[in-house]
Amino acid sequence: MTAEPVTRNRIDRRRERTRNALLAAARGFLAEGRSAVSIQEITDAADVGFGSFYNHFESKEQLFDAAVRSALQVYSEMRDAIVALYDDPAEVFAVSFRMTGRLQRQVPEIVRVVLNSGMSVMLRDEGLAPRARRDIMAAQEAGRFEPMDPDMAMMAAGGALLGLLQLLDARPDADADALSDEMTFHVLRMFGMNKRSAQKLTSGPVPPQPQL
């Protein structure tokens, strides 16, 4: 009576390992900026059979989209665990921005996947964009940020963030903490925060990064 569930669980685990291997291979190619690879190259990198690809994805494009979503999921889990400690929406935004810059040193491959997606990553329904937009709107409603179209504000902050991550990726010896805090300061000022308040939100300690 128990043989069938055990067999099914074993099959499910094998399918999950195969899917995760394909996603990891896709993230590796995206991190290198290599999206024009064949499905054969992907399955070889994942060390899975060519035919197994179509048990999980209909196309290479679907796989790459899922790979970006999985990278953003890693970011989201890290970010949400950190900002849960704060109530002030402006501080939530500042901490999120400061920690995301620091993330480049912790998981550079994940960050490169995001970078190689370009500004289109700010148009997605998961990851960076919806969280930034929600934080900005909450800070505006609380009177911490000046009124601004939330989509324009989100794109402005996203552009600054991606620029920071690109700079850190290009300069591995740069002080990621200092540059992340400096960029956060300037974004807060852009949103109308006075110099003293912006300095306060970018000069204090930040919580430790969760292990990913």
pLDDT tens-digit series, residues 14-28? 888 999 999 999 989
pLDDT digits (tens, 9 = 90+) for 30-68: 888 888 899 999 999 999 999 889 999 999 999 999 998
pLDDT at 70: 85
Q: How far apart are the C-alpha atoms of 142 and 160, rounded to whole Å?
A: 23
Percent of the chain having pLDDT more than 70?
A: 95
Residue 7: band (very low, low, confident or very high) from pLDDT cuts 50, 70, 90: low
Tokens (6 digits) for 79: 């970010």
What is the arithmetic mean of pLDDT over 2-11?
Answer: 63
The sign of the dihedral angle between the CA atoms of 164, 209, 17, 45 is: positive
pLDDT at 35: 81
pLDDT at 121: 85
CA atoms lying within 13 Å on the CB side of residue 122: 19
> Could you tell me the pTM of the whole model?
0.83
Tokens (6 digits) for 161: 């963030």
DSSP 8-state code for residue 173: T
Q: Which domains does the chain have, with CATH numbers?
A: 3-57 (1.10.10.60), 65-203 (1.10.357.10)
Mean of the per-residue pLDDT values of the chain? 89
pLDDT digits (tens, 9 = 90+) for 151-168: 999 999 999 999 999 999
What is the arithmetic mean of pLDDT over 111-121?
Answer: 86
CA dihedral (198, 200, 205, 210) in degrees, to 10, reads: -40
